[in-house]
Amino acid sequence: MPRWLWLLALALLLAACGDGGGSGTAQSEPDGSFEIADTTLTLVDPSRPTAANGTAPGSDSRTLKTSIFYPRTAGRFPLIVFSHGLGALARIYLVILQSLAAEGYVVAAPDFPLSRATAPGGALVDDYVNQPADVSFIIDEMLRLDRDPTSVLHDRVDRSHIGASGQSLGGLTTFGLTLNTCCRDQRIDAAVPMAGPLFPFPGGEYDGHGAPPTLIIHGDADDTAPYDDALTYYDLLGTTPKALLTHIGGGHILPYVGSSDRSAQGATIDAAAAFFDLFLKHERGARERLLAVGERARVRLETDLD
């Protein structure tokens, strides 16, 4: 088993053991000011198929089990959709998801049909080409649930402020959703891709023109998604408001999940929260908080936010 996949499996085990929350239960771990709740919904897109995978049969629809975290208090909050990596599940990123929700966001994190850890036939990398459309579908569903008076999400989603994030294959999914002409969703107002590789999407090309403000987070010792990919994406963004947070000596997994170095994971979370606060909430002081993350040990921050 490759070392990165072993680490991911370990992170999954740690997350599963540490998850004491259930549907609709308050969480206490994040440092944000909002007490949060969570629920899990199975959302089905009947308009697109799921391919067969080895001996596992295909389907004429795409099913996405989606973990949702949100502030318990009444009011509307910006939406963030977070995409997991290959062979993972949304909840291995529990600390990130809960922390963003506690900062005042509705966070939706789907388990993708074929790249998830529990995919029939095994996790399949090639299905990444369908995942940006999965995220767009999740956005559609979250906005629908916001209008549904029977939903726990009724009147909770700020429909005009939407962000996207994800790690590894989820970072690639986020790039496809915001930076590739194949799949761009114009509703995305800010993006935070983490450790995303540079893969092509059929029928499209990477073009920074019209991309939303983007914070790229990447380790310069990543042996799975080369750091040069992050630099390429950063350059493609051109004059788009952008930032690049580099984990000095950081690899592909540990700055995000299962890390014994909590300072690295903390820098990832704090930078993402500050960036979303700046471009989704237009919050006073968010720029300064983002810049302050760049002053920490073992990270380097490059910005062009104007």
Over residues 175-191, the pLDDT tens digits come to 999 999 999 999 999 99
pLDDT at residue 262 in the model = 79
Confidence band for 165, pLDDT divided at 50, 70 and 90 = very high
pTM value > 0.85: yes
Conformational region of residue 130, where left means phi above 0, alpha means psi within -120 to 50, and beta covers everything else: alpha
Q: Provide the residue type at 92 as one letter.
A: I
Pairing outcome for strands 188-194 and 214-219? parallel
Cα angle vertex 31, ends 28, 33, to 5°?
90
Cα angle vertex 120, ends 119, 123, to 5°?
40
Over residues 88-110, the pLDDT tens digits come to 999 999 999 999 999 999 999 99
pLDDT at residue 19 in the model = 37
Has residue 27 got a pLDDT over 60?
no
Domains located in the chain, CATH noted: 3-49+61-304 (3.40.50.1820)
Both tokens of 155, joined, read 């009147």
